[in-house]
Amino acid sequence: MKIKLIILLFGISLFGYSQKKISKKQVKIKPRTEFVADLLSKMTLEEKIGQLNLPTSGDITTGAASSSNVAKNIEDGKVGGLFNIKSVQKIKEVQKIAVEKSRLKIPLLFGMDVIHGYETTFPIPLGLSATWDMKLIERSAQIAAQEASADGINWTFSPMVDISRDPRWGRVSEGSGEDPFLGSEIAKAMVNGYQQNDLSKNNTILSCVKHFALYGAPEAGRDYNTVDMSRIRMYNDYFPPYKAAIDAGVGSVMASFNEIDGIPATGNKWLMTDVLRKQWGFKGFVVTDFTGIPEMIQHGMGDLQTVSALALNAGIEMDMVGEGFLTTLKKSLEEGKVTIEQIDNAARLILNAKYDLGLFQDPYKYCDEKRAKTEIFTKSHRDEARNIAAQSLVLLKNNNQLLPLKKSGTIALIGPLADAKENMAGTWSVATNMEKSISLLAGIQEVAGKDTKVLYGKGSNLDYDAAFEEKATMFGKTLHRDNRTSEELLAEALKIANQSDVIVAALGESAEMSGESSSRTNLEIPQAQKDLLQALLKTGKPVVLVLFTGRPLVLVQENETVPAILNTWFAGSEAGSAIADVLFGNENPSGKLTATFPRSVGQVPIYYNQKNTGRPLGNKEGKFEKFRSNYIDERNEPLYPFGFGLSYTTFAYSNLKISSDKMNFNENVKVTVDVTNTGNFEGKEVVQLYIRDLVGSVTRPLKELKGFQKIALNKGEKQTVTFEISVEELKFYNSELQFIAEPGRFDVFVGTNSSTDNKVSFELIK
């Protein structure tokens, strides 16, 4: 017995010794399965449960980590990871506590919401999706991983892949829009960008797909609210992007706040075990969202011990902030409410992730201060961010080719978002140095050139209501509210406008009007800005609306009255320069909408791939017909459809062909179309392919995106674009949740957006 004890203590001592030395030289360790099994065998129950605990420490001040309230828990082996600490110095200091003061020297995970860039910030995810360019999207995630890893971070809570068809929901800004096919492609690109299929590299980080599942479909568009839908809709419309991330090898999954089939996702065994692990084969670990376990108490699922056991039994491995696992699992184990095998498995999965990240070989792998000084917010990264931002902008209107602007004359730049660098990065930009972001004013002054005079006036505050503006500019994203009267602000703006050749009105939402807990019932531009815009139009000067938004807005009045509208989302730290590049024609806009813009909030939820009713009405002319599926007071169609986006040039589609009008299950058909640049600028076009299954065993959507290609064409150039359709593009989940394709007739539409009626047809036969 004494000999065994000596061997065990020697093994622990050797493990600890290796952890102290590896910061200077990496050591060779056993294969993962064997290594983790050995480590688990040495762990006490409390240490195993500790691995399941993910607290936030706040941003510990350098030099104070050892005295922080989380330090004692780390020493005692009661912490598996931390999040929201930023900088190599602080993270190294905390990691040192784990690997030098805790009994088994197990390193910590360090996570952060690196959502759309680190210090070099890219467009909000909804804006990134509007590029329709998977290489650019993957590159943005790769740069984010490089910068975050250089600053000590090894885990990001991204990508968010929730499908959303309701722009009232503020977190539509964090996702990729309404379409499961496009959303799946983006999910794969983001996971690949963060992880690069090699977590052993020091410039990759662990990705976490969220929020599993259905979080983007809350009733009334209100954040955290109830979600209730059929399983056939889950599988066909909402699950695909999550599964795409799993198939791409994502290392972790975050549970959503909402309920599914009456059980919160955090405690839903069908979701976390049957679907995620048994059906999809996920091998990583699942973390809750912030306080997701104790929030089940408010759902009415029981006390903290009960809901903590519910979560572990469901298949949750890590408890973010709630400390339900830490404080109740030992008691639940003693009472037989959970098993030691479940605790061991959860700890094993988290240790596996640490092993894959190379933390057992070098716990300070991400703490190289040289990298922190040379790889973050670099000139090359900012240049790439500027380019990607320019590709995300969507031209919604351009009467009489008002854009691009000339680099001469006098421009009046007016609006509360014209000189608002703190808002350029948008929501969930926690690592952004807002002081270094480029405002629209600075960008125009840089790009317009010495022959252009730029006059600036604020024109109005964000909103007439100062209290509303305060809510909409949280987290340091102030708009520096002007205390002059509305009349004084407007008078100044009109004076400037009357001296100009053209007016650029920078209006819309502030950064925190969208994002988490930023649901809206009114989807219009705030009234103070609408009044300003109408006053500017009355000057008779040409007006360009530069629209800032994190969601689809209702823009009927603006569309009817403003000559040119450029939707810029929140384009990141280089936003001002990128927007100016597009305004002055250095870049030709090529973004396309990935979420439908409604004509009225009463149309919401609205999306292109809807199903027919038994009494359909296209209503494209705004006609009303009794006993048809329409509104008394509004048209059916949206203001701007999914896939919509203009260019400074024009594109003509012709010669749409299909290789055969029949296709067997083991065959493919090819669809070709000629696309010609018929305008006066070189430009990029997103060629989109949609399919309609005309007859099915269950009702099928009117159209479904099944392919797209972004092409570049010089003036006058023609290119033949080819799509290949296999049986995989025709599959769907039927009423038995079988993923199948059914014989029958299919229409294939190819065009510039989802409203195209340019089609060919074929029949799938056995």
Beta strands (DSSP E) in 516-631 are 543-548, 564-567
Q: How many CA atoms lie within 13 A of 365 on its CB side?
A: 28
Cα dihedral angle (386, 389, 391, 392), rounded to 10 degrees?
180
Instruction: Please give the Cα distance from 694 to 581 (Å, whole number).
Output: 44
Looking at the annotation, which residues are catalytic? 289
Q: Which H or E element spans position 39?
A: helix 32-42
Provide the sign of the torsion angle of the four alpha carbons 20, 26, 30, 33, taken in this order.
positive
Q: Are 507 and 546 in contact (CB under 8 A)?
A: yes
Using alpha carbons, select from 529, 532, 577 the residue that is nearest to residue 549.
529
- Say how many C-beta atoms besides its own lie within 10 A of residue 516's C-beta: 16
Q: Are 240 and 192 in contact (CB under 8 A)?
A: no
C-alpha pair distances (Å), 679 with each of 89, 376, 646, 653, 715: 54, 40, 12, 13, 6
Q: Are 307 and 267 in contact (CB under 8 A)?
A: yes
Q: Which H or E element spans position 691?
A: strand 683-693
C-alpha pair distances (Å), 132 with each of 112, 185, 361, 424, 712: 26, 9, 39, 21, 13
User: Looking at residue 287, what DSSP letter applies?
Assistant: E
- Say how many C-beta atoms besides its own lie within 10 A of residue 656's C-beta: 17
Residue 101: exposed, middle, or buried by beta-carbon count in 10 A (0-12, 13-18, 19+)? middle
